[in-house]
Amino acid sequence: MADSSSAVILTKRPEIRDVVRQALKARGVQADHIFPVTDEKECLKKLSEIEYGLLILDWEFAPDKVQAILGDNRKEYRLESHLVFLIAARDEDAIIKVAQEYYVNYVAIGEITTDTIRDQIKGLVKEFTSTGPLRKMLLAVDSCRKSGDHLNALEMLEKLYAKQGDNEKIGMELAEAYILDDRWQLAEDILRKLLTAEDVSPRVKHLFARCRLKAGDYNTAVASLKGAQLLSPYNIERLLEIGNLFLKLDRPEEAEDAFSEILDFAPGSKPAIFGQSTSKLLMGELNEALQILNGVANPRELSAIFNTAAIMAIKQQRFDAGFGLYQKALQLLSKKPKLVSRILYNMGIGYVKMGKNDKGLKCFEKASEQDPTFQDAAFNIKVLKTAPATGPVATLKETSDLTEAASDMTEAEIPLMEMSFEHGEEEVELDEVLSNISKVG
């Protein structure tokens, strides 16, 4: 094997790590090119430093983090990625389905012997060193993408597809390339052809759902996502998309079910925890949401969850629910001036959308008071103050991201609050809310 070949190993099981390391050395990988890593961040950093190499992952490390690494392995220009060997202690078909979706090269599940690992490593190394015509072409496509020559990369994929139109992988890669290029109809045409195959990949159904979402066909998108999930029930990326889609469609109970499915096999998944709590908020179950988040979310994350839920409620014309959520967020975070400023800002946008410009102006003024450097608030104040008494208001700066406002926050426990919220309660008393905001800074 070439001296430059490298391998990254992620597992919590020392016996697995030792056997893998020895098997790699036996196949010619130099000891100083074998990198056992301790967490997903170190794994991703090391992979970013290697052009192409070998990646050995243990599902038992954490299913959600393993899938995040597999997804990152194929992001951006990477079409032909590091070769992967996935190991799992549980003998489940669902794990194999996930492996297939991410084009994992070798899988060993259940009771695994030393000989099994050695055989799989042997195959992995052989596949890496014996680059076939298809892999060479895909590597060339990657090279074009990396250099920024996306047009040539796309043309190469189109030529490959013209020659091998029945090759599912090439079809999916070209469809994804069209999606990235915002050519949705071309992508859908390819995916519709792939959907006629006898054994359809869940990834095909997943990508087809994205196309239908782009077209606004939510019913078909939901059905396709559910069909894909039945084929491969452990795909976290897709379950998150299903949950977020149900939130957008004002179906929080179904959204909660999707996020709960993730937590059944990946209990540490933060996106699933946050999705589940957002679902609870939209169902009016504030105390339950806070109990889920307590000790998990930091102030930035907490404010973002309340903010997301409030924006969704307002977009769904559930104004009482949205403003109620903003009010609770302000109560929780009243001593964080920059966060309070952004929440008030988004609250002001909501009032303007309702046609209540006077209340929107009060929110923007209070937002500016809490953070005098917040230029968007100052801009909207100017627009509303100079707006005509009748007719449409000039375009405002839209919803604010909370990330920058909370960049200096530290993690802290979330105070549990005895509060309730039922849809249809009386409209939030804005003046009372604004007067109760703590004076800080």
Give me the CATH number covering residue 407: 1.25.40.10
Whether residue 2 lies inside any domain: the answer is no
Dump pLDDT digits (tens) for 190-240.
Answer: 999 999 998 899 999 999 999 999 999 999 999 999 999 999 999 999 999
Among the candidates 232, 267, 292, a domain finishes at 232
- Examine the fold and report which residue of 130, 154, 173 is the final residue of a domain before the chain moves on: 130
- pLDDT(1) > 50: no
Q: Does position 426 have pLDDT exceeding 70, yes or no?
A: no
pLDDT at 391: 53
Inside any domain, residue 370: yes
Does residue 401 surpass a pLDDT of 80? no
- Predicted local distance difference test score (pLDDT) of residue 136: 80
Distance separating alpha carbons of residues 24 and 30, to the nearest angstrom = 8
Residue 90 is part of a domain; what is its CATH number? Answer: 3.40.50.2300
> Is residue 150 domain-shared with residue 218, that is, in the same domain?
yes
CA dist., res. 311 & res. 357, Å (int): 17
**Average pLDDT of the residues in 149-168:** 90
Same domain, 288 and 414: yes
Residue 367, Cα to own-chain centre: how many angstroms? 30
Q: Same domain for 205 and 105?
A: no
Of residues 252 and 73, more confidence is placed in 252
Q: Which of 59-63, 164-168, 395-399 has the lowest mean pLDDT?
A: 395-399
With CA atoms as reference, report the closest residue to 278 among 250, 320, 238, 237. 250
Q: How would residue 285 be classed by pLDDT, with cut points 50, 70 and 90? A: very high
At 407, is the pLDDT very low, low, confident or very high (cuts 50, 70, 90)? Answer: very low
278 located within any domain: no
Percent of the chain with pLDDT over 90: 58
Are residues 300 and 412 both part of a single domain? yes
Structure tokens at 198: 């006898």
Mean pLDDT of 263-272: 94
User: Does residue 200 sit in the same domain as residue 310?
Assistant: no
Within this chain, do residues 113 and 162 fall inside the same structural domain, yes or no? no
pLDDT at 388: 66
Number of domains into which the chain is organized:
3
- 40 pLDDT above the threshold of 70: yes
Asked whether residue 288 falls in the same domain as residue 429, the answer is yes
**Top mean-pLDDT range of 263-267, 385-389, 402-406:** 263-267
Residue range(s) defining the domain that contains residue 228: 135-232
Task: Identify whether residues 297 and 385 lie together within a single domain.
Answer: yes
Answer whether residue 270 is part of any domain.
no
So what's the pLDDT on residue 339? Answer: 86
| Same structural domain, 159 and 44 | no
Residue 257 lies in a domain: no
Structure-model confidence comparison of residues 9 and 90, the more confident one: 9
Confidence class for position 184, pLDDT limits 50, 70, 90:
very high
Amino acid at 322: G
Average pLDDT over residues 77-89: 81
pTM: 0.79
* Claim to verify: residue 223 and residue 207 sit in the same structural domain: yes
Whether residue 341 lies inside any domain: the answer is yes
Residue 430, pLDDT score:
64
What is the tens place of the pLDDT at every residue in 117-139? 999 999 999 988 876 777 788 88
For residue 37, pLDDT over 90 is answered with yes
What's the mean pLDDT when you consider all of the chain?
85
Q: How far apart are CA 144 and CA 43, in angstroms?
A: 25
User: Is residue 246 assigned to a domain?
Assistant: no
- Asked whether residue 259 is assigned to any structural domain, the reply reads no
97 C-beta neighbours (distance < 10 Å), count? 17
Say if residue 416's pLDDT is above 50. Answer: no
Domain boundary pick from 197, 212, 232: 232
Q: Do both 121 and 197 map to the same domain?
A: no
Same domain, 54 and 187: no
Give whole-number Cα distances, 397 to 380, 390, 416, in Å.
Answer: 7, 20, 33
| Residue 428: pLDDT band with limits 50, 70, 90 | very low
In this prediction, residue 32 carries a pLDDT of: 94
Given this model, what pLDDT does residue 440 score?
38
In the three-class reduction of DSSP (H, G, I as helix; E, B as strand; rest coil), residue 317 is classed as coil
